[in-house]
Amino acid sequence: MENIYTYHRLFIFVNAVFSSMGCSTKDAEIATKVLLSADLRGIDSHGIARLNGYLRLWEAKRVNAKPEIKIIHETPSTAVVDGDAGLGLVVAPYAMKIAIEKAEQVGTGWVSVNNSNHFGIAGTHAMMALEKNMIGIAMTNASALVAPTFSIERMLGTNPIAVAIPAGKEPPFVADFATTTAANGKLELLQREGKEAPIGWVQDEYGNNVSDASILKNNGSLLPLGSDRQHGSHKGYALGSIVDIFSAVLSGASYGPWAPPFPAYVPMPVDMPGKGLGHFFGAMRIDAFRPAEDFKNNMDNWIGRFRNAKPIAGQEKVLIPGDPEREIEKIRMEEGIPIPQSLVIELNTVAEKMGIEVL
- Looking only at residues 246 through 265 of this chain, which bind its own copies when binding is defined by CB under 8 A? 246, 249-252, 255-257
100 with 126: CB under 8 angstroms? no
Of 27 and 82, the one with the shorter C-beta distance to its own copies is: 82
Beta bridge partners of 111: 79, 281
Shortest reach from residue 137's CB to its own copies, in Å: 9
d(CA 96, CA 132) in angstroms, rounded, equals 12
Ranges within 41-80 binding its own copies (CB under 8 A): 73, 75-78, 80
d(CA 98, CA 77) in angstroms, rounded, equals 10
Helix (H, G, I), strand (E, B) or coil at 133: coil
Q: Does 123 bind its own copies (CB under 8 A)?
A: no
Q: Does 269 bind its own copies (CB under 8 A)?
A: no
Element of type H or E holding 337: strand 337-340
Of 25 and 219, the one with the shorter C-beta distance to its own copies is: 219
Ranges within 276-305 binding its own copies (CB under 8 A): 284-286, 288-290, 294-295, 298-299, 301-302, 305
Considering only the stretches 8-16, 104-112, 331-339, 345-353, report the one whose residues sit in contact with its own copies under the rule CB under 8 A. Answer: 104-112
What distance separates the 2 farthest-apart alpha carbons in the chain?
56
Shortest reach from residue 41's CB to its own copies, in Å: 15
Q: Which of 146, 183, 145, 138 is nearest to 163 (CA)?
A: 138
**Burial class of residue 242 (count of CB atoms within 10 Å of its CB; 0-12, 13-18, 19+):** middle
- Binds its own copies by CB under 8 A, chosen from 230, 265, 334, 355: 230
DSSP-derived letter for residue 224 is B
Of 42 and 53, the one with the shorter C-beta distance to its own copies is: 42
**Residue 186: CB atoms within 10 Å:** 17
Q: Does 317 bind its own copies (CB under 8 A)?
A: yes
- Binds its own copies by CB under 8 A, chosen from 193, 194, 265, 313: 313
- Binds its own copies by CB under 8 A, chosen from 12, 272, 292, 318: 318
* 351 phi/psi in degrees, rounded to 5: -60, -45
Q: Does 153 bind its own copies (CB under 8 A)?
A: yes
Q: Does 88 bind its own copies (CB under 8 A)?
A: no
Encoded amino acid at 291, one letter = P
Shortest reach from residue 246's CB to its own copies, in Å: 8
